Amino acid sequence: MVSGDTTKAFEVKGGSPTGVIFRLDLGERFGVNRIKFFPRKGFEEFFLKGYELLLNDGSEEQKTLAGTPDFKVFKTEERNLKPTVDLDVPLQFVRFIEVKQLVRGEWEIDEFQVFGAGFASTASYTSRVFDREQPTVFGDITWARGSIGEPTKTDAILVTRSGNTPDPSDSLSWSAWSSPYPAGVRTAIESPAPRRFFQFHLLLKTSDILAAATIDSLSFEVSPALADSLVSEIWPQRALIGQNTPFTYAVRTVNSRGFNRLELKTMAPVDVVRSVQIDGTDVEWEKTNTEDGVQISFPRIVGDRILQVVFENVALQYNTFFAGRVSDSREPDNLPQVVTEGDAVSDFEAQGDDLSVEISVGKNLIHSMNVAPVPFTPNGDGLNDEVLVTYDIVNLTGGALVSVEIYDLSGRRVRTIYSGLDPSRRYQRAWDGTDESGAKVLPGIYMMRVEIDADSGSESKTQIVPIVY
């Protein structure tokens, strides 16, 4: 505390007061190793003749039940003879400092100096508002963190938000801060799009005074929006679990600048697309399977249009969500734009105006299992050299441990084809007729077992796999 004005000081004068408390809030937790205070020059006789110095680090652990700082005594001096108090403090986090008068008399403090070392326990940075000057979609965000000192003592948190106005305090036009993004991993930006404005916020923390988190790099992807709005819904919104069902996926565009692809994320491959319509007229289309769904290409859509795609697929968990996004093959460098749930077609039969399909939740975790070809002949001639097992994992809210194993008729495990943590989805695994060592197994009858171990319990299904040469 330095006023810079020699005519002013913190004064306790008039009468002979006692028990006066001087309290200082540093505003944050800092590493403190020295504290010094003294009266004004020429007023040296008005120093504290007796005092008690107390410290508090500002943490939750050092609060009273009422939520106030619980001070710890650092120094008690009942007979002070020095106008300038200069104390060395073992390096520690400090936020609140309290000086309590112990001896009756008049006194003042001109300057109260706190010295420190190391790093603040927390630090934050909020970026400027990035103005893209047009509706924008967001891709991935990537950032890398480092540290000074012990890395395990530090942490860093990155979040984002987006808006339609320049002022982030406009809560009606700006989203809330996103959940934190992991460091060192390309992660899709969660903030709503298309939006014109974007901002990120960093919070750095340390539990060690001599350690600090650092930000080595940060980048994020943006590109012009393909449309001002892409509102979608799906029908029907109820289905039988694991049963192939025809679905209609509708997308209403507003001020589209042009796109000719719709990509759907599904839990099972889309084998059948029945039709594609633009404003009720059938158009030519092309289907391409993707890693987690299907991509459908069609004539380029510009302006305000309604796209409807009828396809067959399965629902494998309660509230199966069919995410969708559009892209333009003419602009391969631009990011795809995600569709949003809503009333896409006013006369559509769907009543939920969303992209979720409900199923009746059952007890089974493995809905179906199919093995083909049976028998198979792994003799290297290129025909039926592998057997494929297709199975549906259902009714999971998260992931569960799944294994696919081969046994002989004596119960001896011959091969583990797969073991991993999987969510509800349709899966396909292959076996080439070899054991764990890579050697071809003898012809005969084998058992293929799919087993799942979930929080709700364990379940397995087994089918016979004959091998002939």
Extract the tokens encoding 236: 């029907």
The average pLDDT across 378-385 equals 87
CATH 2.60.40.1510 placement within the chain: 229-357
Whether the predicted pLDDT of 347 surpasses 70: no
CATH of domain 122-224: 2.60.120
Q: Any bridge partners for residue 389, and if so which?
A: 371, 429
Cβ contacts of 305 within 8 Å, gap of 6 or more = 252, 253, 256, 278, 279
pTM above 0.75, yes or no: no
Give the per-residue pLDDT at 401: 96
The average pLDDT across 33-48 equals 93
User: CA–CA separation, 325 vs 338, rounded Å?
Assistant: 4
> What is the fold of 10-116?
Jelly Rolls (2.60.120)
Give the tens place of pLDDT for each residue, 160-181.
Answer: 999 999 999 999 999 999 999 9
- Given the candidates 3.10.20.30, 3.90.180.10, 3.40.50.2000, 2.60.40.1510, the CATH classification of the domain at 229-357 is 2.60.40.1510
Residue 358's pLDDT band, with cuts at 50, 70 and 90, is confident
Give the per-residue pLDDT at 360: 72
User: CA–CA separation, 215 vs 121, rounded Å?
Assistant: 16
Give the per-residue pLDDT at 5: 65
HEC profile for 8-77? CCEEECCCCCCCCEEEEEEEEEEEEEEEEEECCCCCCCCCCCCEEEEEECCCHHHECCCCCECCEEEEEE
Residue 368's pLDDT band, with cuts at 50, 70 and 90, is confident
Give the per-residue pLDDT at 379: 87
Q: Which residue has the tokens 């007729």?
A: 433
CATH 2.60.40.4070 placement within the chain: 366-467
Residue 318's pLDDT band, with cuts at 50, 70 and 90, is confident
Nearest to 396 by CA among 241, 292, 271: 241
User: CA–CA separation, 303 vs 308, rounded Å?
Assistant: 16
Give the tens place of pLDDT for each residue, 68-121.
Answer: 999 999 999 999 999 999 999 999 999 999 999 999 888 899 999 999 999 988
CATH of domain 366-467: 2.60.40.4070
Whether the predicted pLDDT of 280 surpasses 70: yes
Residues 315 and 426: beta-carbon distance below 8 Å: no
Mean pLDDT over all residues of the chain?
92
Whether the predicted pLDDT of 386 surpasses 90: yes
Give the per-residue pLDDT at 84: 96
Residue 369's pLDDT band, with cuts at 50, 70 and 90, is very high
- State the DSSP H helix or E strand holding residue 377, giving kind and residue range, or none if neither: none
Nearest to 156 by CA among 206, 117, 192: 206
CATH 2.60.120.260 placement within the chain: 10-116
Residues 451 and 468: beta-carbon distance below 8 Å: no
Give the tens place of pLDDT for each residue, 289-305.
Answer: 998 899 999 999 999 99
Nearest to 155 by CA among 164, 163, 146: 146
Residues 375, 380, 382, CA angle at the centre, nearest 5°?
80
Give the per-residue pLDDT at 349: 58
